[in-house]
Amino acid sequence: MKNKDTFTDRLEAQAKAKQALLEKAKKNDPASDPEFAARQQARIEAARIREEREAERRRAVQAERERVRAERAAIAAAKAAEAARKAEEARLAAEQARKEAEERARRAIRTAPKPVQLGLKDLKAALEARTGGK
C-alpha cells in the first residue's frame, strides 16, 4: 500500500479482492460441477435403496410377529376346544352314570320282596332282629 492511496482507493481494492474471492468460490462450488451432481444423485439413490431394504426387513419382522401371534392363538383355541370336549365328555359320563344309578335303583325296587310276599317265619325273624330277640 502506498501512502498516496486514498480511502476510496482502499475501498475499491477491497471490493476487487472480495469479488475475486467470490468468483473463486463460485468456480470451486460443487453444485456447478456435473460430477458432483452425479455423485449426489448416486447418494440419494443409495439412501432410497437402503430405506427400501430397511422397510422390507421391518415388514418381514412384523409378518413373523403376526405369524407367531396367529400360531399362539391357534394353539390356545385348540386347547380351549380340547377342554370343552373333555368337559362335554365328563358331562355325558356323569349323565350316563346318573341314568345307570336310577336304573339300578328301579331294578332294586322291582326285585325287592314285598311285605306281603314274606312268610310268617320271615316276619318273625325280621321282628326278632329288630327288637334284639325280646
Average the pLDDT over 90-119 and give the result.
Answer: 82
Integer Cα distance of 40 and 49 in angstroms: 14
Please give the share of the chain, as a percent, with pLDDT higher than 70: 88
Integer Cα distance of 48 and 46 in angstroms: 5
For 71-103, write each residue's pLDDT tens digit: 999 999 999 999 999 999 999 999 999 999 999
pLDDT at 80: 96
Average the pLDDT over 39-43 and give the result.
Answer: 90
Tell me which range, 20-29, 84-93, 102-111, is most confidently predicted by mean pLDDT: 84-93
Q: Which three cell numbers stand for residue 67?
A: 405369524
Average the pLDDT over 107-114 and give the result.
Answer: 74
Q: Which three cell numbers stand for residue 54?
A: 430397511
Average the pLDDT over 36-46 and give the result.
Answer: 90
Cβ neighbours, 10 Å, residue 110: 7
Integer Cα distance of 73 and 66 in angstroms: 10
Q: Which three cell numbers stand for residue 22?
A: 467470490
pLDDT at 78: 96
Comparing 133 with 65, the larger pLDDT belongs to: 65
Q: Provide the total of helices (H) and of strands (E) in the chain, helices listed first.
A: 3, 0
pLDDT for 131 beyond 70: yes
Q: Which residues lie below 8 Å from residue 5, measured CB to CB, with a gap of 6+?
A: 13
Average the pLDDT over 96-120 and give the result.
Answer: 79
Cβ neighbours, 10 Å, residue 40: 13
pLDDT at 15: 94
